[in-house]
Amino acid sequence: MAELDDRTVKNVENVEKQQAAARDATHWAKAVSRLRVSEVPEGAINLNVTGKRLAGPVQGFGKMWQKTYQARLPRATMSAVDLVATWKQRFPDFWPEGNNFYGPLTGIAPGEVALLNMTLPGRMKLSTGVMVLYADEESFTLMTPQGHMFAGWITFSATEVEDETVAQAQVLMRASDPIFEMGLMLGGHKQEDQFWVQTLRNLAGQIEPAREVDVDVQVVCVDKRRQWSRWTNVWHSSAIRSAVYMLGAPVRGRRG
């Protein structure tokens, strides 16, 4: 009898696991060997994305960092689920000026690829992209391709803590290659912090325009060691390839 009960419990557990997996499968992107951009929005530069593989924090070169940015809003103004829905729907609107996120018309959904055209210090333009790795009602995650400034993912989420709704952006990353690692050390980290702080301020400003919301920043070095064997990632560097592309612009213009 006890054996039968054990088997029943096991069967119920298996069914629950299968149901959880089926529900969960809709939230994750399907496996892709190389990225493909289905549609290039007007004004966007499609460079350094098509044909690239995804690169997570374990594929990068530099030290591994976990950076968490949080903005606290009164729960009465917006629930966590509504906040994430707003964030997904209007994601590009909250980016700091000078940086463009060209998402698919269908919005943030698992497997979708977005193009990024960004401005780096020295007014340098950089073209890259991201893939939506995961999205549900409470969070969504973007993952970077080879050649991006960093190899990793960024998770945007919201939680309700007592009478507050906490909006959070969390970056788990390594610089992709030695040049980006040097860039991060020479002010890149600060610039990245400012970027996400401003993004959260812009988001919070939409929800509660009456006051400027403080953004908490927490930075943890998850792995101090650099992965020297990954120095060859520099071959895919979006910075170098974007610079070459920009230098070639006058020639392309003449050939027109």
Partner 1 sequence: MTTSELPIVVRRRDNVAVIDVVGAVDARAEHSLEAAWAEATRERPDAVVLNFEGAGFINSTGIALIVGLLAAGRARSIPIRAYGLTPHYREIFEITRLADFLAINPDEDSAVLGVERSSA
Q: Which residues contact 39 (CB under 8 A, 6 or more apart)?
A: 104, 105
Tokens of 1: 């009898």
Among 6, 7, 16, 121, binds partner 1 (CB under 8 A): 16
Sheet containing 139-143: which strands, arranged edge to edge?
100-102, 113-120, 124-135, 139-143, 150-161, 164-175, 64-74, 215-223
- Tell whether residue 229 is a contact of partner 1 (CB under 8 A): no
User: Does residue number 164 form part of the binding site for partner 1 (CB under 8 A)?
Assistant: no
Alpha helices in the chain (DSSP H): 2-25, 80-89, 178-183, 189-207, 238-247, 249-255
Selected from 48, 127, 128, 139, the binder of partner 1 by CB under 8 A is 139
Is there binding between residue 84 and partner 1 (CB under 8 A)? no
Number of residues that bind partner 1 (CB under 8 A): 38
Using the rule CB under 8 A, give the single segment among 35-43, 50-58, 113-121, 241-249 that binds partner 1: 50-58
Options 49, 52, 57, 100; binder of partner 1; rule CB under 8 A: 57
Element (DSSP H or E) covering residue 220: strand 215-223
Rounded to an integer, what distance in angstroms lies between the CA atom of residue 116 and that of residue 19?
36
* From 35, 44, 78, 143, residue interacting with partner 1 (rule: CB under 8 A): 143
Q: Which of 54, 71, 84, 204 is the binder for partner 1 (CB under 8 A)? A: 54
Question: Is 21 a residue that touches partner 1 (CB under 8 A)?
Answer: yes
Residue 145 or 183 having the CB closest to partner 1: 145
How far apart, in Å, are the Cα atoms of 227 and each of 40, 77, 178, 192, 221? 34, 45, 10, 21, 14
Site string for partner 1, 27-46 (x = CB under 8 A): xxxxxx--------------
Q: What are phi and psi of 93, to 5 degrees?
A: -65, -25
Least distance in angstroms from the C-beta of 155 to partner 1: 5
Which residues sit at the interface with partner 1, rule CB under 8 A? Answer: 16-17, 20-21, 23-25, 27-32, 53-59, 64, 66, 133-134, 136, 139, 141, 143, 153, 155, 157, 159, 170, 172, 222-225
